[in-house]
Amino acid sequence: MIGGGMYRRSARETRALPRHGRRLLAIALLTCATSTYCFAQADPASEPTVLALAKVLPAVVNINTERVVRRTVRDPFEDLYAQFFGYYRARPREIRQTVQSLGSGFIVDAEGHIVTNQHVVERAADLKIKVTTDDGKNYSAHYITGDDKTDLAFIKIDAPGPFPFISLENVSPNLLGETVLVVGNAVGYGSSISRGVLSATKRDISVDNVDYKNLVQTDAAINPGNSGGPVIDISGRLVGISSAKMAFTPQGVPTQGLGFAIPADVVRDSVNKFKAYAEKHPGGKNPPGGEETAGSNAERLLGLQLQNLSDDLSGALGYARGRGALITAVEPDSPADEVGIERGLVLYRVGNRDVNSVEQVDRLLKPVRSGGNVDLTVGVIRADGSGQRAETVSVTAR
Residue of 104, 109, 113, 119 marked catalytic: 119
Rounded to whole angstroms, the Cα distance separating 246 from 233 reads 22
Residue of 104, 109, 113, 151 marked catalytic: 151
325-330 and 346-350 beta bridge pairing: antiparallel
**46 counts as catalytic:** no
For the chain, how big is the Rg over CA atoms in Å? Answer: 29
Which candidate, 185, 29, 43, 162, places its Cα nearest to that of 105?
185
Q: What is the SS3 assignment for 299-327? A: HHHHCEEEEECCHHHHHHHCECCCCCEEE
Q: Which helix (H) or strand (E) holds 336?
A: helix 335-338
**142 counts as catalytic:** no
Rounded to whole angstroms, the Cα distance separating 94 from 74 reads 9
Rounded to whole angstroms, the Cα distance separating 320 from 383 reads 4
Residue of 172, 192, 227, 243 marked catalytic: 227
238-245 and 189-207 beta bridge pairing: unpaired
Which candidate, 59, 113, 103, places its Cα nearest to that of 271?
113
SS3 33: helix
Contact in structure between 198 and 180 (CB atoms under 8 Å): yes
Burial of 79 (0-12, 13-18, 19+ CB in 10 A): middle
Rounded to whole angstroms, the Cα distance separating 314 from 244 reads 32
How many CB atoms within 10 Å of residue 125?
A: 21
**227 counts as catalytic:** yes
Residues with active-site annotation: 119, 151, 227
